[in-house]
A and B are shown apart, each in its own frame.
Chain A
Amino acid sequence: MKKSTFLAAALIVCTASAGFSQKINGAGATFPYPIYSKWFSEYSAAHPGVEINYQSIGSGGGIRQVTSGVVDFGASDGPMTDEQLKGSKVKIVHIPTVLGAVVPIYNLPGVSTELKFSPDVLADIYLGKISNWSDARIAKDNPGVKLPSTDIVVVHRSDGSGTTYIFTDYLSKVSNDWKNSVGRNSAVPWPKGIGGKGNENVAAMVRQMPGSIGYVELIYAMQNKIAFGYIKNAAGNWVKGSIDGVTEAAATVKQMPADYRVSITNAPGPNAYPISSFTWLLIPIPPKDAGNGKVIKDFLGWMLDHGQSETSGLYYAPLPKSVSDKVRGTISQLQ
């Protein structure tokens, strides 16, 4: 008697949990974590019983966990390589969600005008070929600015990071030297400079050290009101990192491949900000769990309809309309 009631109770609990609470696990990139956690909590509030749990363990971890079938979805700041896709147990669909950008910050006492950097100058500073602020090539970009004769202290990220991936991807595109001797990755063999852990450490070092230059995420610079320089884009215009400039870069990218694995650095639009990138959700096909797969599909639609309008409050750039229309088509084909 006692045993049977217990069994019945257990059965009720089980069916109840299956019917009313659906737990979905995701893991990956840290850069979009603030917006993802906002989206997931709002989605859960709008859909009682659905719980999306996202762990920001880094893009590398996200890719590993989704390809080995540990989580329902992954997230990454850099697109998966062909090799990684080949090695994956399941087919992976990339869904772009928001955009990020990287800006050059610097500390040069006595210079109050905002500095401008040509792409090749920026690459050569990070290569160590330009080592003094009074270098003729920096002066050429900044006519009328009195540049002090201080040594340049280069600061970069020491932790593997999507920010570094975007920055080195850009430098590889604009400088052959960079492409051949350093390359692009979330961590690279830096020819020169000091490594700071995280955006905050890089910013702290640049703030403290006169003559230093660093790079941080646009959202970080905007939220913390750190001054940053102009970059000359592919169209030849001087642009400063901004949410609109990033969205334009995504809209003007030459050809958007069907799987969205595209680098949008050095985009051609006249106002496009050149050091920007998508960040992606990685959706396994077939889904790890059919029920969860349906919820993820529904969430992606919700993300396009409602989620995109909330991005700029957190200083993320929303997808341009051309891309979100295309993504809508991809989502409708998901199982």
Chain B
Amino acid sequence: MNAVSSRAEAVGRLVLRRLLFAVPVLFVVTLGMFLLAAASPFDPIRQYYGVQIFEADAAEVARVRAELGLDQPVLVQFWSWVTGVFGGDLGVSRSFRQPVAQVVLERLPWTMLLAATGLAIAVLLALLLGTIAAWRQGGWIDRVVTGIGHALEGIPPFVLALLSISVFALALGWLPVAGLTDAGAELSVGQVAQHLVLPATALGISQSPWLVLHVRQSLLTSLTEDHVTGARARGLSEPTVVLRHALPTAVLPFVMLIGARVPELVTGAVLVEAVFSWPGLAAAVVTAAEAVDYPMLAAVTILATGAVLLGSLLADVAAVLLDPRVNADG
């Protein structure tokens, strides 16, 4: 199959090009992060000392600052971090007082779990509600869905998170308030699943309005296209027309949109984790930022940037594979 092999080649080239492109992007973004952190009003020595700073002798503090290398110019610190990374060492996180690699390993899985579940919820909601709304355009379901969708676009995720805690955890008592497990309980699938419901739903719903409205819109467009009109004319049943003929053409832009929503998902995860005491990586960002913890911030920056780049890459790959009209070089 010549067409297929050339398609695979095209995708391969696309991935390679993007990977090459990612290296300078990550470098620049990380450097920018270092400069921003250095310009921030936070003083890392204060986090290191904690309450002892109130009793500490100024000369003593200056000595410790030098001992920890905090008095070096930001570019020197950046360079020592870069050389460390190429030596396979991500450095030590001062705010967590653990090697960065260990902090990431401990926390990243929880963030991945939360983000993946949240995204899955958002996608399911989008396909379901978007399809129904478009199919029965102008009906009451459509009006409710679009109304709520537009309203939710303006509500930040943490408001949703706090709201869901007060309703489902405190008022109704259906679900646990926060954390990864009940206090004192061992880690178990059941426990984590129970504690995942609220944060993942809050994250999913906060991400869903754009997706729902997008599915509805592109389905409305494709319902008027020739191949759908043709299918209707052939007397196919309405569900078949919508699900087999209209939806597939509508899904492609939707896949690309999901890739583009990754940055929002990352931001949403930070806010939701903070509210739910979810011990993920996103919650660690705030701690690291206040401590001007360069190695930790750098790791988080790279992961977040990487996620965004990967999201857009996957969207493009999916587009190349799904739609023969898309040119991989575009």
Q: Do A and B come from the same complex?
A: no
User: A: which residues have CB within 8 A of B?
Assistant: none
